[in-house]
Amino acid sequence: MSGLKDQRVIVTGGAGFLGRHVCQTLARFEPADIFVPRSRDYDLRRRPDVERMLGDFEPDVIIHLAAVVGGIGANRRHPGRYFYDNAIMGIELMDAARLAGVSKFVTAGTICAYPKFASVPFKEDDLWSGYPEETNAPYGLAKKMLLVQAQAYRAEYGFNAVTLLPVNLYGPHDNFHPESSHVIPALIRKAIEARDSGSERLFAWGTGNASREFLFVRDAAEAVALAADRYDGSEPVNVGSGREIMVRDLAQLVCELCGYEGEIVWDATKPDGQPRRCLDVSRAKNAFGFEAQTSLEEGLAETIAWYERHRTAVASAV
């Protein structure tokens, strides 16, 4: 029998970028109900709101995706907020869930928790071998503490809390805000605006020499659902595609797919962030059968097409 079948599931952040795709994917596993609490109704930083939410929905399973996130610039501007909000939401929610008798708790950590100079590909066992890249450290460490909490609660209380470590995500419904977006939506927006304005140059952050790994959001949603259904281990699990690409090559690919033929100018006064990112994804395959299905080229093409259709609404929302 499915681990999610006939279960009452809360997905925090279920109206967000990853969350909306997770909720769609979860339906295939036949839960009894899927609840998506909204921040306007339940402030997960406040214990009374968390307890009221659990009383209102009485979940069997919680998938905790709610987070305060952004690109390098946003991380540099808001290190305090990114640390406090992400840590306190997870800490209060996990503790209240344990006391409420929730049977399973799944939390999405972050690749930003890895050491700045972790060996590539990143293996889960290397998570504690150094300090995270400085611009992402407050966010990464806040999420990392939820792994510590999950393992501590399992050891002392037998609480079934599992931790996933997703790589950089992208896809339809991503955040394209120029002040807080991650690299793929930022490049897509810049390339399309430069194309349409006839600009001969597009300015991009950093040197372009850093590398990244990306996972299409629907693939990430599949991984979260599979883990919620099948994985009950204490060890964190990388969730990614296993493909590394230099940011310089990514930018060229995005420009080609957007139909922009101008020059990409790299602003080396802006930070590159972590030098390299690429995951060992074997544990996810072995533990709950997840493998990414969408190539970067396919995912980028779909994301660009979505942005082209919705960019007027996206622009008016920022």
By annotation, the residues acting in catalysis are 139
Tokens of 170: 């992208």
Residue reference for tokens 């609480």: 159
Using CA atoms, how far residue 231 sits from 13, 72, 155, in Å, is: 21, 32, 17
Instruction: Judge whether 274 and 144 are in contact, CB under 8 Å.
Output: no
Q: How far is CA 281 from the centre of its chain?
A: 16
Q: Which helix (H) or strand (E) holds 247?
A: helix 247-258
Q: What are phi and psi of 313, to 5 degrees?
A: -65, -40
Structure tokens that stand for 22 in this block: 């997770």
Give the number of other Cβ atoms within 10 Å of residue 254's Cβ.
Answer: 26
CA distance 283 to 253: 30
Could you tell me the two tokens for 29? Answer: 């596993």
Question: Residue 122: phi, psi to the nearest 5?
Answer: -65, 125
Buried b (16+ CB within 10 A) or exposed e, 162-191: bbbbbbbbbbbbbbbbeebbbbbbbbbbbb
Q: Encoding tokens for residue 53?
A: 């939410």
**165, 147, 143: which is closest to 155 by C-alpha?**
147
